Amino acid sequence: MTRSSIREFSQRCSQRELILCGRLNHWVCRRALWRYFAMISRLGDGIFWYLLAALLVLFGGKAGLQATAHMLAVAAATLVLYKWLKRTSRRQRPAKRRGDLILRVAPLDEFSFPSGHTLHAVAFTVVALAYFPVLFWLLIPFSLSVAASRVVLGLHYPSDVLAATALGLFVAELSFLLVP
C-alpha cells in the first residue's frame, strides 16, 4: 500500500464514522435518551470512580485498600498515556467536523483521540473486578454506557472508543505484571 492509498482509506473510514456519529446523536436526541448518557458521561468524569474507591477503602478491607492503590497506579499510567496521545494525534472531535451534532455535554478538552472516559473506565473496571468479581453486575454495564455515551453525545468517534478500550485493557493487564 502506498501512503496516498492509506490516507484515502483513512479518510473514507473517518467519513463513515462521522456519518455514524450523526445518526446515533440524532437518534438519541429524538428519544430523550441523551439525559441518561449525559448523566453517565458526567459520572464517568471521575465521580463514579472516586465513590467506588472510597467504598472499597471503607468496606473492602485489605483487598479494598489494595484495589484502590492498584487503581490509582493505573490512573497515573492511563493519564500519562491519554495526555500524550491527545497531544500527538490532535484529532478533531466529530462535533467540530459536523455542525449538526447536538452537544449536550461540553468536552473536557479539544481533541478526540482517544476517549479518556473509556480508557479509564475499562482500566478501572478490569482492576476492580480482579479484586471484587461480584461488582461485575455494576461495573460492566456502567463502563459500556460510558463508552456508548462518548459517541452518542457527539464527543468521540467509534474508533476513539475502540482504541481506548484496547488501551485500557492493555494497561490494566500490564499492571498485573507490575503490581503483585
What's the CATH number where 139 sits?
A: 1.10.606.20
Alpha helices in 90-135 (DSSP H): 94-97, 116-131
What is the total count of domains within the chain? 1
Cα distances from 85 to residues 98, 111, 115, in angstroms, run 22, 10, 10
DSSP state of 111: B
Q: Give this prediction's pTM.
A: 0.84
What pLDDT does residue 111 have?
Answer: 82
* Containing structural domain, residue 152: 3-178
C-alpha cell at 163: 482504541
Tens-digit pLDDT profile for the chain (180 aa)?
A: 555 654 565 566 577 777 676 777 666 666 667 888 888 999 998 899 999 999 999 999 999 999 999 999 999 999 999 899 888 888 787 777 766 666 777 777 778 888 999 999 999 999 999 999 999 999 999 999 999 998 888 888 888 899 999 999 999 999 999 876
Cα distances from 108 to residues 5, 23, 66, 69, 70, in angstroms, run 34, 23, 30, 25, 25
